[in-house]
Amino acid sequence: MRGPDDILLLSGGRHAETVPSGPACLSRTNLIAWNDVAVHVEPKAIEVLLELAKHPGEVVSKTSLLQNVWGGVYICEEVVTNAVSLLRRALRDEARNPCIIQTIPKRGYRLIAPITRESIVRYTPETASVKTAALTSELEGNDLKQSVLRVRHLRHEETPASLTSARAYCEELIRQDCAAAYAELVLTLFLLEKLGAAPREEIEPIVRNAVERAVLLDEGSGMSLVCLAKQEYRYDWKWEKAERHFQTATEADPNNPDVFSEFSLMLSVVRRFDESLRLVERACLLDRMSPAARLQAGHANYASGRWAVAASQYEKLLRFSPQHIFAHWGFADALIRSGKPYEAVSVLMTAMGANGGSAHPLLQTSLFRAKAILAGRGGGQFAPREFPPETNDPVLLAELCISAGDLRRALGLLHQAADVRHYRLSAVNMFPQFAPLREDARYEHLRQRVGLRS
């Protein structure tokens, strides 16, 4: 079975003169590199290359690649085409005159670069060549920019595994005392909390220390300012101060899609949807492939009641990130709002399969609500005792209470969430499932606790 630390070496072709050592694919770092040049490639593209290398010179169908790389989860074949395009760009291969990957029309792809059994090796100190070990050391130790990009890619995947890896990389990178590394650590930790993979009491002290360090090292950095702003509104509920720092970040780093995506998210929370949509549109223009920008495009449209557009944005993200929990959740909820609960149930069941059968509380709650609608028990026809027993998140339970018409209990749960400044509390002011509560006079007290204007 292929391990996480395989290295694939290719040689020959017209690259032999300019790249005498041949390109090396380091799947454990998601890099394709040769000599002193390294290109970061999406993990799935690396997996496609490794899959082709198992059958050198043979045609591998798109169906086979979907099955072996994407685990048979239903996705459009476009993801395979995209992965091959990424590989060609990284390897400087040409589709019309290939020397590494050849397209066989209506059949699939084949690896045509000369390759021998010895070209696929297991990377261990005992078996790796001195040259390969030196290359690995150089790539991982000296190229800080590539390392930060690698972390950012892992962060954008937003799975527990990718974020755990991103955190580990960050903890190594901050030894170089780099503002960008501290900023990536902050955003990674926020996402681990969001997924429920790390408790607030564990990460908050680390976040505050990393934000302070990032700002101290580079107070003019857009990402340092983004982290400061995110801490201010998420942990401290200082909305106006956060907005000022976000605005400064956009001026300092006008070409960074993450800056605009994060600012857009905060503006959605305070229900300034038109501004939020403009910012996330800018983020998507800066990087059409950015998962973070695509996710926020879905959230901004969903929060503002544009169900069909939101569903389209979430679906686009899922084509390239089929394990993205929040994209599945958003897609399903947008379908529910569009009057398509059957499709929502299908999406959620697929999501649980794509994530190894795990029932994330967010997905579980949405699935319960969708099935309740199908059973004719929506609109106050199901009782809180029927709620999924695995769910103990006060904000998710409050959402179900609102669906059941129990606003009093929902408010009590949300005040409990406010006591610990729960990360999802801001969703109450943003997403439509909380609208009945926002229209209740008793909500004003909660809004004031959170520091939001009416």
pLDDT tens per residue across span 170-202: 988 888 888 999 999 999 999 999 888 888 889
pLDDT tier at 354, thresholds 50, 70, 90: low
Residues 404, 384 contacting (CB under 8 angstroms) = yes
pLDDT tens per residue across span 33-89: 543 445 566 677 888 888 888 888 889 998 888 888 877 554 566 778 878 887 887
132 pLDDT exceeds 60? Answer: no
Distance CA 127, CA 50 (A): 19
Residues 79, 68 contacting (CB under 8 angstroms) = no
What sign for the dihedral angle of Cα 80, 84, 89, 94?
Answer: negative
DSSP string, 369-408: HHHHHHTT-TTT-S-GGGS-TT---HHHHHHHHHHTT-HH
pTM above 0.75, yes or no: no
pLDDT tier at 131, thresholds 50, 70, 90: very low
Rg (CA), the chain: 24
418 pLDDT exceeds 70? Answer: yes
Q: What is the pLDDT of residue 14?
A: 40
The DSSP call for residue 433 is G
pLDDT tier at 148, thresholds 50, 70, 90: confident
**Beta-carbon-side half-sphere exposure of residue 72 (alpha carbons within 13 Å):** 2
- The residues that bridge with 335 in the sheet, in sequence order, are none
Q: What is the pLDDT of residue 390?
A: 67
pLDDT tens per residue across span 306-325: 999 999 999 999 988 888 99
Residues 43, 32 contacting (CB under 8 angstroms) = no
What mean pLDDT do residues 157-180 have? 88
pLDDT tier at 386, thresholds 50, 70, 90: low
pLDDT tens per residue across span 115-128: 544 343 333 334 33
Residues 68, 51 contacting (CB under 8 angstroms) = yes
Distance CA 256, CA 112 (A): 37
Q: What is the pLDDT of residue 323?
A: 85
The DSSP call for residue 60 is B
Cβ-based neighbour number of residue 208 at 10 Å? 14
Tell which wins on pLDDT, 62 or 212.
212
Q: What is the pLDDT of residue 88?
A: 82
Question: Mean of the per-residue pLDDT values for the chain?
Answer: 80
